[in-house]
């Protein structure tokens, strides 16, 4: 078990190779999940620094949406681990490793460094593909859908991200990189990318030439025309400099964060899926099979007659200021949403810890409950009329399950949660009846 200081160091790739080298993949810790306390500490620190300096670093509605995406991502990752041990994106790696061209000693520091650079190189091309292939962008756009730029944004990930990473890491097997080393550096590569999602760090001096930094990554998240398809790096910005995708942050033009065509929603589950419909609609609207395939496999900005990634001159020229989607809700509803979000986080951690001991039905129930819970928070912010009805049903379902089955294995915690969900069921049933009555009354008037 690593210490808190070691966990903080892992966010900056300050790691001891001797303690992070393993012979068998089953021995590799879940570094990302273990670092949850550090994630929380960074989120709080950014908020406090923002308050102290008079900068608004986060909004509650956008922040809780980003964190909701993080829970959905971790839930689906746990589910994929149950299916394929270490995830879909590394499927076939062990088999391909048997045909390796080079033998690298798993315990050698050289192998550790080769794996670190190899995983980062693969990340560059994986990330670039998510921007340059429309149906993969349909998943990755989730990460760019926040109009704020902060540590919360780093957690906003697609539930399908790991699926579309299939095939990118496998060539490392032929180069003799052991699977445990790849898994280790996939964790640390992801952790490094957390701290670069902030506006509080301005310039990192000489480090800007070699490493990805907040300045470089702010450009990547911009919807401004000059920001599009730039700075794909994970840890080393040298890949962008080598392959011609580097763009320096401009001081004379404020970056507008979010998507070029910004969706007006905080519903996590809708944001996870909506762009797949956009791709399908675009493909079906083409006049030939060839163009339909190009709509799927070319860039998001492609149109018939344009280059593969689209014609930059035809892209919308997004500039600041651009109004942000910012629906509000009463303070008590915010408290309710925040409390149930915390409960969802607890349940997600229970799922992660007990995954190996749960039967399949229990796993499916936990996953379904978490996805519905997170989706409903955004639906409430968006004001969807059916949200109170589904929330009442969700809370009632928890009561029905938890009455006879402990959820956390802590009797007092389970009793408190059962009582809270029972009270929530009554409250939302009452609100649902009000919604139904209002609907009936409106129907009669019409």
What are the structural domain ranges in the chain? 4-243, 331-445
pLDDT digits (tens, 9 = 90+) for 163-206: 888 889 999 999 999 999 999 999 999 999 999 999 999 999 99
Q: pTM of the full predicted structure?
A: 0.90
What φ, ψ does residue 211 adopt, rounded to 5°? -105, 155
Place of tokens 């978490």: 370
pLDDT of residue 83: 55
- Give the integer Cα–Cα distance in Å for 217 and 193: 9
The candidate with the shortest Cα–Cα distance to 215, out of 242, 244, 240, 191, is 240
Determine the 3-state secondary structure of 405 from DSSP.
Answer: coil
Mean of pLDDT values over 332-350: 91
Cβ contact 302:294 at 8 Å: yes
Q: What is the CA radius of gyration of the chain?
A: 23
The pLDDT tens digits of the residues spanning 266-281 come to 999 999 999 999 999 9
Look at residue 78 in the predicted model and tell me its pLDDT: 72
Q: Which residue has the higher pLDDT, 354 or 2?
A: 354
The set of residues, in sequence order, having a beta carbon less than 8 Å from that of 103 and lying 6+ positions away, is: 176
Q: Is the Cβ–Cβ distance between 111 and 104 less than 8 Å? A: yes
Percent of the chain topping pLDDT 70 = 95
On the question of pLDDT at 152 being above 60, the answer is: yes
What pLDDT score does 446 carry?
Answer: 45
Q: Give me the torsion for CA of 379, 384, 389, 394, rounded to 10°.
A: -10
pLDDT of residue 21: 95
Q: What is the mean pLDDT of residues 107-124?
A: 97
Nearest Cα neighbor of 121 from 183, 173, 168 is: 168
Per the prediction, the chain carries an average pLDDT of 90
pLDDT at 155 over 50: yes
DSSP tag of 165? G
Residue that is written with structure tokens 């790691």 in the block: 15
Number of Cβ within 10 Å of residue 341's Cβ equals 17
pLDDT higher than threshold 80 for residue 401: yes
């Amino acid at each position: 078990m690593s210490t808190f200081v070691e966990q903080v160091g892992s966010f900056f790739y300050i790691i001891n190779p001797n303690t992070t080298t393993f012979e068998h993949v089953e021995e590799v810790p879940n570094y990302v999940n273990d670092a949850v306390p550090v994630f929380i500490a960074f989120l709080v620190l950014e908020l406090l620094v923002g308050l102290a300096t008079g900068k608004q670093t986060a909004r509650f509605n956008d922040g809780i949406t980003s964190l909701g995406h993080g829970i959905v991502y971790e839930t689906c990752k746990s589910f994929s681990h149950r299916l394929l041990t270490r995830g879909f994106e590394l499927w076939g790696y062990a088999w391909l490793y048997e045909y390796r061209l080079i033998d690298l000693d798993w315990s050698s520091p050289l192998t550790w460094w080769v794996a670190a650079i190899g995983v980062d190189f693969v990340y560059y091309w994986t990330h670039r593909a998510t921007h340059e292939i429309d149906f993969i962008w349909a998943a990755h756009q989730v990460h760019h859908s926040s109009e704020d730029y902060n540590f919360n944004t780093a957690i906003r990930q697609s539930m399908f991200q790991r699926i579309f990473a299939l095939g990118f890491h496998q060539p490392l097997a032929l180069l003799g990189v052991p699977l445990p080393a790849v898994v280790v550096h996939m964790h640390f590569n992801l952790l490094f990318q957390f701290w670069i999602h902030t506006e509080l760090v301005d310039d990192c001096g000489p480090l800007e030439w070699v490493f990805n930094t907040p300045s470089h990554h702010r450009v990547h998240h911009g919807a401004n025309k000059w920001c599009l398809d730039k700075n794909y790096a994970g840890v080393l910005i040298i890949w962008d400099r080598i392959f011609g995708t580097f763009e320096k942050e401009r001081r004379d033009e404020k970056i507008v964060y979010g998507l070029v065509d910004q969706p007006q929603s905080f519903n996590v589950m809708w944001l996870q899926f909506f762009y797949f419909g956009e791709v399908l609609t675009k493909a079906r609207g083409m006049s030939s099979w060839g163009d339909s395939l190009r709509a799927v496999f070319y860039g998001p900005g492609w149109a018939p007659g344009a280059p593969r990634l689209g014609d930059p001159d035809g892209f919308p020229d997004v500039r600041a200021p651009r109004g942000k989607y910012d629906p509000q809700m009463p303070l008590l509803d915010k408290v309710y949403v925040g409390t149930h979000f915390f409960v969802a986080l607890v349940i997600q951690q229970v799922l992660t810890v007990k995954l190996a001991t749960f039967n399949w039905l229990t796993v499916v129930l936990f996953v379904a409950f978490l996805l519905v819970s997170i989706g409903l928070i955004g639906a409430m912010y968006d004001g969807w009329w059916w949200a109170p009805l589904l929330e009442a049903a969700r809370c009632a379902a928890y009561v029905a399950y938890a009455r006879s089955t402990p959820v956390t294995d802590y009797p007092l915690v389970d009793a408190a949660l059962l009582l809270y969900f029972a009270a929530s069921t009554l409250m939302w049933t009452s609100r649902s009846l009000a919604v139904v009555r209002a609907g009936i009354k409106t129907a009669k008037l019409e």
